[in-house]
Amino acid sequence: MNQFWENEFIQLAGYYSVVVVCITLSLAVFELVTKYRNWEEIKKGNMAVAMATGGKIFGLSNIFRHSIAHNDNLLTMIGWGAFGFILLLAGYFIFEFLTPRFRIDEEIENDNRAVGFISMVISVGLSYVIGAALN
């Protein structure tokens, strides 16, 4: 049975499955902290929400990629990935805090693509910093 679990294809399928679940749960948390409904806005063609959400998905994927690369244990990988998600979530709140002249959520909900783009770049950029620190 050990040979089965040590098979690279089985390990890849396991990591893939776990990361998809983790990203789905993370996106659900992001959905709770934003004032708009991501998937409803995307369905309506709101490009700012699509960019912000895409940045979160890319950022989370990048964090978990680094977590997989630096951890041999599935639970440790999940733990570091979850910690990276918390840092990414903190970055979202810091972005909101550092822009007191307007509300990020309202601008993105109103399809302000400039704000959506900056939100996407912040998520992607922070994911690289978080990922690099996961040694």
User: Which pLDDT value is given to residue 135?
Assistant: 66
The ranges of the chain with pLDDT < 50 are: none
Write the CB contacts of 53 (distance below 8 Å, at least 6 apart in sequence).
27, 30, 38, 42
Handedness of CA 87, 90, 96, 97 (dihedral sign): negative
Each domain of the chain, given as residue ranges in start order, spans 2-133
Q: How far is CA 11 from CA 40, 88, 95, in A?
A: 35, 26, 36
Which pLDDT score is estimated for 71? Answer: 83
Query: Per the structure block, which two tokens stand in for 53?
Result: 């959400």
Determine the number of helices (DSSP H) and then strands (DSSP E) in the chain.
7, 0
Please state, in angstroms and as integers, the Cα–Cα distance from residue 116 to each residue in 14, 45, 76, 78, following that order. 33, 13, 32, 28
pLDDT at 10: 87
Predicted confidence at residue 102, as pLDDT, reads 87
pLDDT at 65: 95
- Both tokens assigned to 110: 């109103």
Instruction: Tell me which H or E stretch contains 14.
Output: helix 8-33
Query: 99 is written with which tokens?
Result: 């822009």
Tokens of 41: 């806005």
56-91 pLDDT, tens per residue? 999 999 999 999 999 878 899 999 999 999 999 999
